[in-house]
Amino acid sequence: MNSTANATLPPRAKPAGQVDPATLAALASGLHADPFAVLGPHEGAVRTLAPGAAAVWVVAQDGQRVALQEQAHGLYTGTAPRARPGQPGSYQLAIEWPDAEQVTPDPYAFGPLLTAQDLDALASGDWRAALELLGARLADMDGIPGLRCAVWAPNARRVAVVGDFNSWDGRRHPMRLRHAAGVWELFIPGIQAGERYKFAITDANGAIALKADPMARRAQAAPATASVVDDPSPYPWTDDAWMRSRAARQARQAPISIYEVHAGSWLAPDGAPCVWDQLADKLPAYAHAMGFSHVELMPIMEYPFGGSWGYQPLGLFAPSARFGPPDAFARFIDRCHAAGIGVILDWVPAHFPDDPHGLARFDGSPLYEYADPREGYHPDWNTLVYNLGRTEVKAFMIASAMHWLRRFHIDGLRVDAVASMLYRDYSRQPGEWIPNRHGGRENLEAVQFLQELNATIREEEPDTIVVAEESTAWPGVTAPVPEGGLGFHYKWNMGWMHDTLRYLHEDPVHRKHHHHDITFGMAYAYSERFVLPLSHDEVVHGKGSLLNKMPGDRAAKLANLRAYLGFMWAHPGKKLLFMGGELACPAEWNHDAALDWNLLDDPGHKGVQRLVADLNRLYRETPSLHELDTDPAGFAWVVMDDADNSVAAFLRQAGGSLVLAVSNFTPVARHGYRVGVPMAGRWTETLNTDAGCYGGSGQGNQGAALTEAEPSHGHAQSLPLTLPPLATLFLTLQG
Q: Where are the alpha helices (DSSP H) in 250-372?
A: 275-289, 326-338
Neighbouring C-beta atoms of residue 165, cutoff 10 Å: 23
Query: Is the separation of the CB atoms in 628 and 621 below 8 Å?
Result: no
294-297/342-347 β-pairing = parallel
Q: CA-to-CA distance for 104 and 40, rounded, in angstroms?
A: 13
Q: CA-to-CA distance for 342 and 340, rounded, in angstroms?
A: 7
* Number of Cα atoms under 13 Å in the Cβ half of residue 589: 25
Note the residue count of the chain.
Answer: 735
Element (H, E) at 78: strand 75-79
Q: CA-to-CA distance for 584 and 337, rounded, in angstroms?
A: 27
Q: CA-to-CA distance for 115 and 98, rounded, in angstroms?
A: 39
315-319/301-302 β-pairing = antiparallel
DSSP 433: S
Neighbouring C-beta atoms of residue 437, cutoff 10 Å: 6
Q: CA-to-CA distance for 170 and 168, rounded, in angstroms?
A: 6
Active site residues: 416, 469
Q: Look at residues 401, 521, 543, 400 and name the one whose alpha carbon lies nearest to residue 467.
A: 401
Q: CA-to-CA distance for 233 and 230, rounded, in angstroms?
A: 9
Amino acid of residue 204: A
Neighbouring C-beta atoms of residue 681, cutoff 10 Å: 13
Q: CA-to-CA distance for 383 and 479, rounded, in angstroms?
A: 30
* Cα 593-596-601 angle, rounded to 5 deg: 165
* Residues paired with 75 in a beta bridge: 49, 72
Residue 269: burial class (beta carbons within 10 Å; 0-12, 13-18, 19+): exposed
In whole angstroms, how far apart are CA 734 and each of 124, 417, 682, 724? Answer: 61, 44, 6, 22
For every residue of 280-298, DSSP letters joined together read HHHHHHHHHHTT-SEEEEP
Q: Look at residues 637, 647, 420 and name the one whose alpha carbon lies nearest to residue 525.
A: 637
Q: CA-to-CA distance for 251 and 126, rounded, in angstroms?
A: 29
Query: Is the separation of the CB atoms in 262 and 579 below 8 Å?
Result: yes
